[in-house]
Amino acid sequence: MVKKIQAIRGMNDCLPTQSALWQKLENAVKKVVSSYGCTEIRMPIVEMTHLFSRAIGEVTDVVEKEMYTFDDRNGDSLTLRPEGTAGCVRACIENSLIDRSEQRLWYMGPMFRHERPQKGRYRQFHQCGVEIFGLDGPDVDAELIMMTARLWQELGIDKHVRLELNSIGSLEDRASYRTALVAFLEQNIDVLDDDCKRRMHTNPLRVLDSKNSAVQAMLADAPRLSDYLSDESKQHFLGVCELLDAAGIEYRVNERLVRGLDYYNRTVFEWVTEDLGAQGTVCAGGRYDGLVEQLGGKSTPAVGFAMGLERLVLMLETLELTDVRRAVDVYMVTAGEGTMVAGLKLAENLRERIDGLRVMTHFGGGNFKKQFKRADKVGAVVALVLGENEVAEDTVVLKDLLGGTQETCKQSDVAAKLAELI
């Protein structure tokens, strides 16, 4: 017996029973981000490796441990994208999108990280991201957060997420803070675990979000980043907070929130939930004013976010917010000489007359009982029945599969009847 080929660990199929919920989520995302004037951009899933090492940071976990990297036949080092921002910035620079005007862009698609698979964390996962270029005020930061808040309302999960907010200041602010933080960590090195010791001199701010309880207790006495912010950074963050207050969006300032990628500055934020256990972050973002220049473009302010779609699907399932439109509206049942041709013609006519109508025609023969059983299995709302008499009389039997009623009507009237039921 030939051995079955399995999917790669951590890379999952989205089956027909799941795809309707995914489509509901994706459509909600597209609706909300488009309502803020964002337009779609699509980037390759494979990029040059040095794009990510330069953008994300050589000493981040993503670059050091998690990327799927390989050499192509020309000897170039390529990487499956682990996130979307770097590729979006590269595309904007390469295609001169941000030389003369602001850009508000969104994207959606698969990302790849070689992590230990667990609930809510996969090796292939899907993100939707929004990136805004050319605007440096606190107002755009606030509106970006408002955009995410509106999406939670659209999905019905707004009462199950909370916003955490911080400012990590400018590069200069963080340089001053880094010196003080490293000195503090060196004084308490006995408390640090191996991971924190490794990060202490390469990426010390990441020690702040350590999950080690002893480290967290020690950090209660650590220098505060907010004490090292310049007046300009403080005013920017105050502006964001005031706009969120005016919009009625609740938040908590979390001074340990630093984000895991090197390119962030000033505003950083996360939306978190208690409904997913350890994988509680469903959306994260912030400002990255230096990244465009770092990747070879002109100095351009930028801010963005990304949300994990798998985690949002898990939330919708956990909260039982999974009502979706049935996959099939109408099931065409035929039996008798010449009825299949008539059924196919009627189905095409209905698809043409009713935009978006989903009609499934029964193939493979079988009596009425078998065909109705199939109609129930696919979740159809209505069955249209064509026998030899109906074909001869130009009629059709319309059966409401949810209500159990049925009636015979002229084929010319069936579109109007369906509009009442679906």
- Known binding residue 127? Answer is yes
Cβ-based neighbour number of residue 17 at 10 Å: 8
Cβ(411)–Cβ(394) under 8 Å? yes
**Smallest Cα–Cα separation from 162: which of 278, 258, 251?**
251
Q: What distance in Å separates the CA atoms of residue 394 and residue 269, rounded to the nearest whole number?
A: 63
Euclidean distance between CA atoms 294 and 272, whole angstroms = 30
Structure tokens at 107: 């994207």
Does the CA dihedral 404-405-411-416 come out positive or negative? negative
Residue identified by tokens 């698809």 is: 351
Q: What is the DSSP string of 237-275?
A: HHHHHHHHHHTT---EE-TT---SSTT-EEEEEEEE-ST
To the question of whether residue 187 is assigned a binding role by annotation, the answer is no
Instruction: Find, among 48, 62, 79, 108, the residue nearest to 263 by Cα.
Output: 62
pLDDT one digit per residue (tens) for the chain, 422 residues: 888 999 989 888 888 888 889 999 999 999 999 999 999 999 999 999 989 888 877 667 777 778 889 999 999 999 999 999 999 999 999 999 987 778 999 999 999 998 887 777 889 999 999 999 999 999 999 999 999 999 999 999 999 999 999 998 888 888 888 888 888 888 888 778 877 777 777 778 778 777 788 888 888 888 888 888 899 999 999 999 999 999 999 999 988 787 655 678 899 999 999 887 766 889 999 999 989 998 999 989 999 999 999 999 998 988 888 777 777 889 999 888 778 888 899 999 999 888 888 898 888 878 888 888 888 888 888 999 998 888 889 999 999 888 888 889 898 888 888 888 77
CB 121 within 8 A of CB 282: no
10 annotated as a binding-site residue: no
Q: Is 294 labeled as ligand-binding?
A: no
The DSSP code sequence of 23-57 is HHHHHHHHHHHHTTT-EE----SEEEHHHHHHHH-
Tell me: is residue 84 an annotated ligand-binding position: yes
Please indicate if the annotation marks 69 as binding a ligand. no
348 appears as a binding residue in the annotation: no
Domains and CATH numbers, the chain: 16-170+230-319 (3.30.930.10), 330-420 (3.40.50.800)
Rounded distance, CA 265 to CA 83, Å? 18
Q: Is 172 labelled as part of a ligand binding site?
A: no
Residue 130: closest CA among 154, 150, 107, 96? 107
Task: Report d(CA 315, CA 151) in Å as an integer.
Answer: 14
pTM tops 0.95, yes or no:
no
Backbone dihedral angles phi then psi of residue 360, each to the nearest 5 degrees: -110, 125
C-alpha distance from residue 329 to each of 18, 164, 344, 360 (Å): 18, 43, 16, 8
The answer to the question of whether 113 is labelled as a binding residue is yes
